[in-house]
Each structure stands twice: as structure tokens, then as C-alpha cells.
Structure 1
């Protein structure tokens, strides 16, 4: 919940989260498991009731890669609507990248110049680049930390062979996107968003979240490589105890680190900045922009 108006800074007032992990709860045919759909319906209903109780004047309801890519995505959306009255709008991967890019542009401003933005979610990786408020290139790939953990890293901690196979897979999948994105290089500023990148930056020595949103944070490729070498040896229970690691995301950290390192290496990025704004803020900013249209 935010206090916001067109042209103003969106100030967060309240936040609630339900950990669903839909990208990890798929059946062999690619459909979201029935128990996961049950949890989704409950989460949407709870969020709707909270919004109503808090007196919100508008409600934005979106679904991303987990629902978008599921073989039963349409049925899931229909059930959510039938049982809650909420009609979830499914974002395309490219729109995810564009809206995240918008949030980063607004956070850093025009002085950031030509931007390259990276975002790792549970189901997908988004890359966007450009000089305006909307990017010239926006790419989405099914390389999310949750999805890859489910498909490639079955042991905890993962085996060396498993991590190497995953690294080869991610690097291969990045080739086409990297060829497109690097045509816009050089970039004035490279920025990463998402909990995955924030966690990796913290483990590499960046300031803790308690220091505030506006404290500069960065992540180098060297620091990331060292962090990956450390976290791949630990079980998720041990990772969950580290400062800056969310217990419910600890099991995804190795896959997220592999994607982050492979992406930075493939795009020739030696260091990047961390932005606290991401897709959520981009959606809010676009909504506010449209109020005056």
C-alpha cells in the first residue's frame, strides 16, 4: 500500500506478503499444482480484504512468469476470478523488463545516462537497456532462481556437477539475448534489482537493509564469484542464518548466484549498482502516469 499521486514520490505505508513459490510447484506437465492454486486463491482473497480494510482507493492486480508460463494458467486465472472477484492481469516478460527499467530510471534519474538493468525473479530473468524512460531493448528469459532450483539443483547443498551443469545451461541460454543487448554498449550505468541481487550484494559486503534505502550499494563480479564459491558449499538451513538472507528464499540462493554471475560475465559487466525500486514500483509509477492521460 502506498500514498501516491501523479508527479509525487510513492511513499510505502503497509506491506503484506504470502510466500507461494508457484514457479517451484509445477506438475510434470507444466501446470501449477492444485495445492498451489489453493494457496494463490487464499493469498489474493487475503490481500483484497487487507486493501479494503486499509481504505485503499485503487487496486492493481498482476501476475507474472509463474502464471504466465503455466500450462493451466488460464484455468488458474478463471478460478481466482470466480472465487475472489479479482481479475489478475498477466504481464508479459517484456513488460516486466520495461516496468522494472522505468523504476530504475526514476530512481537514478537522467544523470544515469544509458542504463543496463538486470532483474532475477523466481521464474524469470529480465534484461533491459536504453537511454529513455522505456528501454530500447527488453528481454525476458525463463531463468528465475526458483525455476532453476527446481529443475537443476535437486540436492541440498547442490553437487559441484549440478552447479556446473546449471552454469553451462544458463550461459548457453544467455547467448542470443547478450548478442542483442551488447549492441547498445557501452553503458553509463549498470543496475540490478530484486531480492536475489540485494542478498548477493549484502553477502559480498554491501550495507545491510537497516542502513536505509538511499545508502549506495554495489556488487562486483569478483565479489559475486567469491560469494558463489562460499554459498554453494552450504545447505539452505545454514544459508538462512546468514545476515541478509531470507529464510524462505535461502534454497534458491545458489541458482540465483549462478544466474547473476553468468549474466554479468556474458554481458561484460565488472560491477553494478543495486536499486531498491523494481517491478512493483514500476507498476505503481506507470499507474500514476496514466491517471492524467
Structure 2
């Protein structure tokens, strides 16, 4: 059986085609389109017309590619941008009408739950309990739990796109920009100061995988060199300082960094180091398998 899993986020639209065979999952194909759906979006506001146009154009193209792979089931969800916009539900109706794909908008809690499902499935053999960090374009999800149940979860409206637009007024960000962002991040993540998880710290999503790719200076992204590998707090701080010293144009030339992430990756690095400082941890394990894989694992559990 072939399944297509689609994640429509605030920055990227990602499609993963997986095949279930003899009880195992195999990756067949994956596409990423940087559509920046969360462009200029405020909570309760409307999606930007240009962002919607980019999204529809990308989905029209990808729906044809999905059909070429003869998938049996499509699982499609939208996250922070769609749930924060007051026209999110209306837009997914437009998507279904024009592209033939039915989307469901996830709550922050459900997004965290499904991503955590992937984490426990992928890393259950090396850890009994987990603390998951999922930094997206419009929100950050933090989950603590074990293979049996989630013990706590937090979804915050702190994202690489939204916070970059709000706090980084210069390119590269000047000291005032950086200090304003750091002050707000410190405030937003202050509840984590009470957390001292002894569990395995897992980082998922594009910010964290991209930081590792930049550290490795990868010419072409290779998930096998990222998935299951580690990033230390010291390396994250060093990467953050370096990225903040460069303009977006200069960052776009770095190996391992897609040019579409060049303007938001410094904020992602700041968010990640803030979280690790708050929970007093020096390293994280990286997962390339996040929400889309969690959706597949959940569907298999309920339907096979």
C-alpha cells in the first residue's frame, strides 16, 4: 500500500510518499516547496493573497506528481498558518475544489501528538522517555512523554517566519533586533526553566535538520547523514552567531542551506538555543521523520 502524507506549514509544503510492505514503511519520494503561507500573517488575520497563490500553484503541481505514484490514500494536514488565519477553513475548501486534496487543520496539541508518535516509533529502541522540540514557521511544539503516553505538551505561537518578520527589521539583524528577539524568546519560554528533563531530547522539522546540514556543509541534503545524529548547544550557538553576522544573500550561498530558509534560519537557531538553555541540556538528537511520518504511523495503527 502506498500512502501520501502532506504537511502544509507556515513556511514549507512537504509531500512524502511512503510504501507499507510486510509491516514496514519505506520512503519512496519526497518533495518540498517553500511557499511561505505564513507571510505577514497575524493571529486572527487573513492569509496573504500572494501566499495563497503560491500554495495553490505548488499543490496543483504536486497533486499531479502524487497521482503518478498511484497512491492508495492521501493524508493532508495544515498547521500554524491555517489555524491562526481567520480564513484558514475557507482556504482549504478552495484547495479541495481546485486541487482535489482534502486537508484537515490540526490544533497545536494534535500536531504535537502526531509528531511525537513518529518520535516514539523511530527512537523507542534507544530511549524510554522523550522531550521533543518541533520548531516550525508559525509555532513551536514541545512534548514530554514516553512510548505509552504523553505527559505534557505545549504549543506556542513562536515560529521562525512570524518572529523573523516581527523582530528582524534589518539584514543582517543589528544588536537591537537581536536583543529584542532574545528578550521575547526568554519570556515566551520562561516556563521551561522549571523543566529539567532527564529524557532523550529529540529535535524535528526543517530548522533543526537544516542547522545540521549547514554544520556538515552538505552539497545536497542527505537525510541519512542527519537522522539520528546530534547537535550540541555549543555548535548551535556558534552557528547562530555566524548566521546572524551574515546577510540573507550571504547565507543563501552557504552549503546545506536552501536559499528559501536564508532569512529565517538565524531565528530558528536562536529559538533552539533558548530552549536548550532553559531545560539545561547540552545536545539534541535529530529526527528527519516528523509530523508526516506520525500521520502515517497513526493511520496504520487505526486502519491496518
TM-score, structure 2 length as denominator? Answer: 0.86
Asked whether 1:165 is paired with 2:177, we answer: no
**1:261 maps to what in 2?**
273
CA offsets per residue over residues 72-96 of structure 1, 9 Å max, x none? Answer: 2122122223323432101111111
What 5-or-longer segments of structure 2 have no aligned partner? 1-16
Asked whether 1:57 is paired with 2:72, we answer: yes
Q: Residue 191 of structure 1 is aligned with which of 187, 190, 202?
A: 202
Asked whether 1:18 is paired with 2:18, we answer: no
**1:130 maps to what in 2?**
145
**1:96 maps to what in 2?**
111
Give the paired residue count: 287
CA offsets per residue over residues 29-60 of structure 1, 9 Å max, x none? Answer: 72111122222223233322222222111111
**2:251 maps to what in 1?**
239
Asked whether 1:142 is paired with 2:193, we answer: no
Which secondary structure state, in structure 1, belongs to the residue aligned with residue 173 of structure 2? coil
Higher strand share: 2
Counterpart-to-counterpart distance in 2, 1:92 and 1:45 = 25
- Tell me the CA shift for residue 280 of structure 1: 1.2
Q: Residue 79 of structure 1 is aligned with which of 94, 98, 101?
A: 94
**2:291 maps to what in 1?**
279
Question: Which deviates further from its counterpart, 221-230 or 193-202?
Answer: 193-202
CA contact (8 A) 2:44 2:84 kept: no
- Tell me the CA shift for residue 62 of structure 1: 0.9
Counterpart-to-counterpart distance in 1, 2:69 and 2:18 = 11
**2:233 maps to what in 1?**
221
Residues 151 and 47 (structure 1), Cα distance of their counterparts in 2 relative to 1, 3 Å cut: same
Asked whether 1:4 is paired with 2:20, we answer: yes
Residues 122 and 74 (structure 1), Cα distance of their counterparts in 2 relative to 1, 3 Å cut: same
- Tell me the CA shift for residue 240 of structure 1: 1.5
Counterpart-to-counterpart distance in 2, 1:137 and 1:29 = 26
**2:121 maps to what in 1?**
106
Which secondary structure state, in structure 1, belongs to the residue aligned with residue 186 of structure 2? helix
CA contact (8 A) 1:206 1:217 kept: no
Q: Residue 211 of structure 2 is aligned with which of 200, 205, 218?
A: 200
CA contact (8 A) 2:216 2:256 kept: no
Counterpart-to-counterpart distance in 2, 1:28 and 1:94 = 17
Which secondary structure state, in structure 1, belongs to the residue aligned with residue 73 of structure 2? coil
What 5-or-longer segments of structure 1 have no aligned partner? none
- Tell me the CA shift for residue 204 of structure 1: 4.2
What RMSD, in angstroms, separates the aligned Cα atoms of the two structures?
A: 2.3
Asked whether 1:154 is paired with 2:186, we answer: no
CA offsets per residue over residues 190-233 of structure 1, 9 Å max, x none? Answer: 11111211222344459885482577521111221121111101
Counterpart-to-counterpart distance in 1, 2:226 and 2:170 = 38
Residues 186 and 40 (structure 1), Cα distance of their counterparts in 2 relative to 1, 3 Å cut: closer
